[in-house]
Chains A and B, each alone.
Chain A
Amino acid sequence: MRSIRAAAVGAVTLSLALAATACGGGSSNGSGSNDSPGTLTYWASNQGASIAVDKKVLQPELDKFEKKTGIKVKLEVVPWSDLLNRILTATTSGQGPDVLNIGNTWSASLQATGALLPWDDGNFAKIGGRDRFVDSALSSTGVRGKDPAAVPLYSMAYALYYNKKIFADAGIAEPPATWDELVADGKKIKAGGKAVLGAEGANLSENIHHVFVFAKQHDADFFTADGKPDFTGPKVVDAVKQYVDLMAKDKVIPTGDAEYAQNQSVSDFAKGKQAMLLWQSAAANLTSQGMSEDAYGVAPVPVRSGAPGSGPQVNSMVAGINIAVFKNTRNLDGATKFVEFMTSDAEQKTLNTAYSTIPPVKAAQGDAAFDAPDTAVLKNTLATSAAALPQVPSESQFETAVGTAVKDLFADAAAGRAVTTDSVKAELEKAQQQMPAA
């Protein structure tokens, strides 16, 4: 009898506990507070060669921050494949980190969800003011005319990395400055039995970054001035076709690269199998893969003709990482202090050196550490010939839709099917139909 009663009591207790937890999980949609001033949770993006490398770079800095302010920062490095999903889940549930890194191209999309703290003048003042940051980096922090959703943390640009030995063996003196030169050099390189140019054909973001620049060079945009998708104009089609033709017609990108999505093209380059690579701030990555710094050269990404500049001479996107504060944070003051710390001149120097990126903070950018020849190319590109990806709320969907279209076109090229103006246009039309109506 007693045991039955015990079981019954147990059952009731358990049920009540379950009911309580079920209700307790609800989300709080209010804005930030300062309920827990002692700790912060920070989601860092994966910047180094591995997550372990990132922890090693960041932990000493977080310790410094704790010493200075007494706030303990719990670090989680989130891989790129998960980061956006994790942010979306955090947004939906209201349970997330206090401070987080975002890819700067997501700024406008995440801004639209309202999950991130807007950086109005008051908030900017807490971290030393908007003027501390480079303009090009600020251009990728949200929709123009609205308060930025995030603050630039690391800046990157695309460059052409080339293997000096393969170039010398093929008798090429200078890295190519135009696409025609690149294709011509490719023939010499292939004669020596090496692959010419690497690409990540199945990586949607990489595809977007490249076709965006090609579109710029064709004087075209993927979005109209009022933010409507416009993927099927003849210039956009030509631009996308020119990129895919590097594999389909010019044969400088090996067909095998059509299925690359895990940075295999970087290791092909690091291993000396392939002569060239178009990548953003690759130095740290190449070093960690065992390629010595004097084995490769860095040059600006080719243009159609002439020299890199603005307008149709653009040769890179404004790549980079922004740091944002989650609006639901329970340590608003601490979170702002942490952003101030991460964007301080000293930390900018340390972190950007470790990741071989460019500081978006003017004062730090002037440091001698960023005047090495390879960083100088990146710095110069950012300053003179880089453009920000469209700052529209549907940017994230655009990356998926058009990125997939390019992936499918690469798959066609790899399978030996013809890539024509019509087939490119058909894929882009399909992509445009998937875009939200608004």
Chain B
Amino acid sequence: MTTTALKEPVRPTSPGAAREPRRRTGRIRRIGLPYLLLLPALLLELLVHLVPMVIGVVMSFKELTQFYIRDWGAAPWSGFGNYKVSVDFDAPVGKALLHSFSVTVGFTLLSVGLCWLIGTAAAICMQDTFRGRGLLRALFLVPYALPVYTAVITWVFMFQHDNGLVNHVLHDQLHLTGEPSFWLIGDNSFYALLTVSVWRGWPFAFLIVMAGLQNIPRELYEAAALDGAGMWQQVRRITLPSLRPVNQVLVLVLFLWTFNDFNTPYVLFGKSAPEAADLVSVHIYQASFVTWNFGTGSAMSVLLLLFLLAVTGVYLLVTSRGRRAADV
């Protein structure tokens, strides 16, 4: 390996024959050093990401129930059994997974859409200097900066049926509902989850779009204004096209984060989420940790990974092609 190259110069060499090998070791060293410096990071990456992933994939082919978790090696191989159970949509397990998956897709689309919309609108409004802009910008970023658990637990208190702030405002003060609603159980839980998710997610969109806006030359707006373009026209013809590369990454990242979000639903609803808000991450958690069937849980995780990989691939392909065409 590269370590041998390092030892080379220490070896005593006769002056005549030295020139050729030394140059070669020099080259090896030049080429090898960057890799050598990358090695710790690579190993860490392997340790933190790849090894657990591979173990997860291996687990998905095993019948890893409570009888075998103490000694994984003894767990019998089940081939594609776990996958078959997961995607058999006529049977209860597959049906529940499909339901959870569709809830997650709907939730993610709404959440990402709203996060992006609110974030972008706020960033555009904050673009012109006015008194108190710095303060507002800082304030907007607070939800993003707060620790997830603390923030979501506060929401749990606010959503409580008897003493929650939400019902106090909607029911007691504004009289919008006939009787206090339940937010943490039943069908409303979807909206509760969406609210918290958007509340947590939009500041990130705001931050990224704001950074993107700083790169758009002001002259463009001035020229457009001279040509008689209104505010809306300026946003549509200048701001949005200029933000395109930023948005491409932003939407993808928001999508992946929201789709995989575990903390928000787990803190809001606990181990068993209401059906209306049964996000796939918590669903898989329940399928493995709560029912102690880690094989099926792993199989579901691998399926989720494949789905997210496919979506990401198609998304990048489509958006990049579109951009390339636009650039020409």
Chain A residues proximal to chain B, CB less than 8 Å? 4-5, 7-9, 11-12, 14-15, 18-19, 22, 29, 85, 88, 91-92, 94, 109, 112-115, 201-202, 204, 255-256, 258-259, 261, 393, 396-397, 400-401, 403-404, 407-408, 410-412, 414-415, 430, 433-434, 436, 438
Contacts and interface: CB of A to CB of B under 8 A. Distances in A.
Contact of A404 (B33, B44, B272): B272
A18 B271 CA distance: 35
Given A112-B67, A397-B292, A258 B185 contact: yes
Nearest to B65: A436
A182 to B, nearest CB: 22
B182 A415 contact: yes
Contacts of B51: 22
Q: Which 5 A-B pairs have the closest CB atoms?
A: A433-B92, A411-B185, A14-B40, A256-B162, A404-B272
Contact of A436 (B37, B185, B291): B291
Contacts of A397: 290-292
Given A8-B37, A14-B40, A19-B43, A407 B69 contact: no
Contact of A18 (B37, B43, B67): B43
B275 interface: yes
A8 B33 contact: yes
A202 B3 CA distance: 60
Nearest to B296: A436
B286 interface: yes
Contacts of A414: 161, 182, 185-186
Given A259-B161, A397-B292, A407-B185, A430 B92 contact: yes
A281 B293 CA distance: 33
A343 B161 CA distance: 43
Interface of chain A: mostly helix, strand, loop or mixed: helix
B93 interface: yes
A12 B39 contact: yes
A10 B51 CA distance: 24
A88 B272 contact: no
A15 B43 contact: yes
B212 interface: no
A29 B271 contact: no
Given A8-B6, A115-B70, A259-B184, A202 B270 contact: yes
Of A201, A393, A407, A436, chain B has the most CB atoms within 10 Å of the CB of: A436
Nearest to A15: B39
Contact of B160 (A4, A7, A259): A259
Given A8-B36, A18-B44, A411-B274, A88 B182 contact: no
A97 to B, nearest CB: 15
B47 interface: yes
